[in-house]
Amino acid sequence: MSESTVVVFGDQPPVHLDRVADRAKVLVCDENSLPQALPAADVLLVWDFTSDAVRDAWPGEGPRPAWVHTASAGVDRLLCPELIASDTVLTNARGVFEQPIAEYVAGLVVAMAKDFHGSWELQRQRRWQHRETMRLAGTRAVVVGAGPIGRAVGSTLAALGVVVDLVGRTARPGVRGGDELPGLLPSADWVVSAAPLTDANRGMFDRTVFDRMKSSARFINVGRGPLVVEKDLTAALVARRIAGAALDVFEHEPLAADDPLWDVPGLFVSPHMSGDTVGWRDHLADQFQDNYERWCSGEPLLNIVDKRLGYVPVD
C-alpha cells in the first residue's frame, strides 16, 4: 500500500501515534480546517468526539475517507445520511470504556445505598447522627442497553448481589426486549441508562418512565444525554416521585454554570467522566494504532459500527 494520509481531528490530538506516523502522512486539523482536510484523507481519526464538525463537514458524493474511527463508544455525533449511505467504514472505541463505566455506576449505587453524601454532610456539620442504610444485596436493577457497556454494568452490579434485568432493543437469551421495560420498572431499585442514542430511543426516559418507578428508586444515566427528558427527571425529583438520580451525560454539554440542573434536589452531577480513568487517552491511541495496522495489512477491522443501527452489533 502506498503512503496513506491520516487526518486527526481535534484541538488536543493524541500525544503519540508513532506506529501510524512511521507508515502514513499524519495531518492534525480543527473545526475550521476539517472541511478542506477530509477529501484528502484515507483515514480519519475523530479524537474530538464531542463535536458535530465531522457530520457538518462530511463531503457527501465527493472524495472521502475510506475509514473513520472515533475515540468514543457513541457515534451519534458523526452520523449523517451521506456517511450512512457511503461505503466508508466506521469503527468505535469499544473495549476501552466498558469496565471503567461499570465501576463508576457501581460506585454511585454503593454511595446512594449507604448514604455517603449524608455522612459527609453530617461530618461537615460535626454531628454524630446514627442512621440505617440500604442493604445492596437483593435489590433489583434494570439496566437499559444490552451492549458491552450495559453488560459490564450488569455483571459488576451482580457481583455486589444485585439482581439485574438487562434490557435491549430485542429479546435474546439473557436479555429482555424493550417492550418488557414498563413491566420491570415498578420493582426496580436502580434504573441505569447505558443505551446508545438512536432516533428510536431519543427521550425514552420521560415522565411515563419516572412515574412507573417506585418512590425509593434511583435513576442513573451513563448512556447519552438526549436519552433523558431532563425537565421530566427534574419534576420527578422535586416532587420526590423517585428518591434520587445521577447524570454523567447531558443534552447540552458542558453544563452551563447557570443551568438549573446543578441545584435539583437529589441529583448528582458529573461532567461526562464515568469512563475516563488514568491513561485512557493512551489506551485510545493504542487501540486506533492496532486497528490501523490491521487496515494496512488488509485484515478485517475491529469494532465495525452498523451505521444504520448506530452501534457495533453484539456478538
Within-domain flag for 90: yes
- Per the residue annotation, which of 55, 140, 212, 272 is the catalytic one? 272
pLDDT at residue 84, rounded to an integer: 95
Within-domain flag for 308: no
Residues 144 and 264 both lie in one domain? yes
Provide the whole-model pTM.
0.94
Within-domain flag for 313: no
Tell me, yes or no, if 293 is annotated catalytic. Answer: no
- Give the whole-number percent of the chain exceeding pLDDT 70: 99
- Per the residue annotation, which of 117, 172, 252, 253 is the catalytic one? 253
pLDDT digits (tens, 9 = 90+) for 232-265: 999 999 999 999 999 999 999 999 999 999 999 9
pLDDT digits (tens, 9 = 90+) for 95-107: 999 999 999 999 9
Does position 157 have pLDDT exceeding 80, yes or no?
Answer: yes
- Per the residue annotation, which of 98, 218, 224, 230 is the catalytic one? 224
pLDDT digits (tens, 9 = 90+) for 163-174: 999 999 999 999
Tell me, yes or no, if 103 is annotated catalytic. Answer: no
pLDDT at residue 314, rounded to an integer: 76
Tell me, yes or no, if 94 is annotated catalytic. Answer: no
pLDDT digits (tens, 9 = 90+) for 264-295: 999 999 999 999 999 999 999 999 999 999 99
More confident residue, 59 or 239: 239
Taking residues 172-191, what's their average pLDDT? Answer: 98
User: What is the span of the domain harbouring residue 135?
Assistant: 98-269
pLDDT at residue 15, rounded to an integer: 82
Domain of residue 159, CATH code = 3.40.50.720
Within-domain flag for 303: no
In this structure, of 2-6, 108-112, 265-269, the range with the lowest mean pLDDT score is 2-6
Does position 52 have pLDDT exceeding 60, yes or no?
Answer: yes
Taking residues 212-218, what's their average pLDDT? Answer: 98
| Residue 273 burial (CB count, 10 A) | 13
Residues 127 and 75 both lie in one domain? no
Residues 35 and 17 both lie in one domain? yes
Residues 119 and 58 both lie in one domain? no
Within-domain flag for 305: no
Residues 102 and 88 both lie in one domain? no
pLDDT at residue 149, rounded to an integer: 97
pLDDT at residue 12, rounded to an integer: 84
- Give the whole-number percent of the chain exceeding pLDDT 90: 95
Does position 315 have pLDDT exceeding 70, yes or no?
Answer: no
Residues 103 and 190 both lie in one domain? yes
Residues 138 and 196 both lie in one domain? yes
Does position 2 have pLDDT exceeding 70, yes or no?
Answer: no
Structural domain count, the chain? 2
Residues 116 and 251 both lie in one domain? yes
Does position 1 have pLDDT exceeding 70, yes or no?
Answer: no
Within-domain flag for 132: yes
pLDDT at residue 223, rounded to an integer: 97
Within-domain flag for 311: no
Residues 40 and 115 both lie in one domain? no
